[in-house]
Amino acid sequence: MRNSIILSFLAIFFFVSCRDSRIHEKKEWGKYFDAEGVPDGCFMLRDNNHEAIYYYNKERCLQRFLPASTFKIFNSLVALETGVAPDEQLIIKWDSVVRKVPEWNKDMNMREAFKVSNVPYYQEIARRIGADEMQHYLDTVNYGNRNMGGSIDQFWLNDSLQISADEQVGFLKRLYFNELPFSERTQRIVKSLMLQEETPQYRLYYKTGWGVRTQSNVMWIVGFVEKLEHVKEDKNSMNKSDIRMYPYFFAENFNAPLNDTTKDWASIRLNILKSVLKDFGAIPQ
């Protein structure tokens, strides 16, 4: 009953928040999930140029899940804004605990930690930020359900904090346009951390997440892509660049079986993303 009430509220919020946008269901995107053997997933994409929303599986797009490592976007913003991290070169020394991800077992800076999704690094960042500051920014940004539970270094991993794909897209749009309650410098640095691919046709920015739950894992990939188009400007134009950037914001998540090592779920997550972006024309085929 409680979940149905929450979903109803979020559905109202979704359509009100998009009242100036065109909203389109894309059932055909289900074929990309089906091709990878993913029975329960969703995708939301916002075409900013046309103020249009496209989605697959609306109910799940409005359902909140733990953000897992996608929260590193928010964690980085708060760390930089509060001075916990003077910049993205802040080095945190390895605590000598050998973990299952070999890339984590060394000293590293924030840029490196973001790239390899180093959980212990960002847990230490959260401890240095502290509960009061973190809660302040969760409330100010209105990030998901804003619930930290009782643990400063676990709340984005243990189902206390939850956020929907719809809310992720809204958060990323605000980040892209420097509209979050952080300085321009802070938002610029975090966007640079998110850049994963750069080609003459597009720039792809994203953060992945892999959340462990009692029944299944939840796989996330959220971010934005800039489609680059080259134009010839008039010599009298105020805009001296010959590049136009068209942003598209996205959030994808799906369930993956617990302890299932028969598939490369990390690659599947990215395969689905690129299939949808190619289908939409945001990146070339």
d(CA 11, CA 9): 5
For position 232, what pLDDT does the model report?
67
Name the active-site residue from 4, 69, 237, 267: 69
206-241: pLDDT as tens digits: 999 999 887 889 999 999 999 998 776 656 655 556
Full strand arrangement of the beta sheet holding 22-25: 22-25, 52-56, 41-47, 243-257, 216-230, 202-212, 195-198
Query: What residues have CB less than 8 Å from 160, skipping those under 6 apart?
Result: 66, 147, 148, 149, 150, 151, 154
For position 4, what pLDDT does the model report?
46
- How large is the average pLDDT for residues 15-31? 75
d(CA 24, CA 32): 18
Tell me which H or E stretch contains 260: none
Provide the CB-side half-sphere exposure for 138 (13 A, CA): 23
Report pTM.
0.90
Give 186-229 as a 3 state SS string.
HHHHHHHHHEEEECCCEEEEEEEEEEECCCEEEEEEEEEEEEEE
Q: Choose the weakest-confidence range: 5-14, 174-183, 276-285.
A: 5-14
3-state secondary structure of 250: strand
42-90: pLDDT as tens digits: 999 999 999 999 999 999 999 999 999 999 999 999 999 999 999 999 9
Catalytic-residue membership of 69:
yes
First and final CA of the chain: distance in angstroms? 44
Query: What residues have CB less than 8 Å from 152, skipping those under 6 apart?
Result: 126, 127, 129, 130, 131, 134
Domains, the chain, with CATH or none: 1-65+164-285 (3.40.710.10), 67-162 (3.40.710.10)
β strands within 50-188, DSSP E: 52-56, 91-92, 108-109
Tokens of 138: 């969760």
For position 8, what pLDDT does the model report?
46
Contact in structure between 46 and 53 (CB atoms under 8 Å): yes
- How large is the average pLDDT for residues 29-54? 96
Contact in structure between 165 and 250 (CB atoms under 8 Å): no
